[in-house]
Amino acid sequence: MLHKPFSPACERNRDAILAVLREHFADRRRVLEIGSGTGQHAVHFAAALPQLVWQTSDVPDNLSGIRLWLGEARQPNTPPPLSFDINGAPPEGEFDAVFSANTLHIMGWSEVQRLFALLPGLMRPGALLTIYGPFNYGGAFTSASNAAFDASLRAAQPQRGIRDFEAVDALADGAGLSLVDDRAMPANNRCVTWRRSA
């Protein structure tokens, strides 16, 4: 029997993220979430922002768990999750916002590069990208806890690790996205939003 996956971190960070999304996604309609994980964020954000169609996606192994969360919530604005591995073909269609939480330090750097290379094909002109998670600035960790987290990530998988904000912003620039907002979040995380030029 399938067990519904559960992420305690999602329960802790969802309302702080929602406050940012309420601001930036107020006039959005179709959101693509990349690396939806359990699906908990999707259920929470789609309920609070009913004007949005919140399209979840993740690697195939995570889709059954997301389906359980979406199926239980029975919300009209959460279509079935899409299978989307950054290393494979992107989903069809264009979105007016893309959201991803806690994914850039899990993907290898070449996958982060590919993610940004795919974005122009997924985002219509004027679309927003919001990324939540930890970042380094000026080549330095922002806290001792982030340094310890980075060490644990790299010990488990050498290609993982907290990304430099400046390097990610350069990828965004290369994809035609301009920085709109870089917001401090609880527990030494950030919520960063870029806009594709119209």
| Site for ligand SAM contains 58 (CB under 6 A) | yes
134's CB contacts (< 8 A; 6+ apart) are 105, 142, 146, 149, 150, 162, 188, 189, 190
Nearer to ligand SAM, 7 or 113 (CB): 7
- Please report, as residue ranges, which positions from 111 to 140 form the binding site for ligand SAM (by CB under 6 A): 111
Stretch that binds ligand SAM, among 19-27, 54-62, 141-149, 156-164 (CB under 6 A): 54-62
Q: Quick one: how far is CA 181 from the chain centroid?
A: 15
Q: How far apart are CA 61 and CA 172, in angstroms?
A: 28
Is residue 128 helix, strand or coil? strand
User: Cβ of residue 61: shortest distance to ligand SAM, in angstroms?
Assistant: 7
Based on the shown chain and the rule CB under 6 A, indicate whether residue 10 belongs to the binding site for ligand SAM. Answer: yes
> Please, are residues 73 and 47 in contact by the beta-carbon 8 Å criterion?
yes
Q: Which of residues 26-45 bind ligand SAM (CB under 6 A)?
A: 35-37, 41
Of these, 16, 49, 59, 147, which contacts ligand SAM (CB under 6 A)? Answer: 59
Residue number of the CB atom closest to ligand SAM: 37
The three-state DSSP-derived secondary structure of 69-82 is: HHHHHCCCCCCCCE
What residues make contact with ligand SAM under the rule CB under 6 A? 7, 9-10, 35-37, 41, 58-59, 62, 84-87, 101-103, 106-107, 111
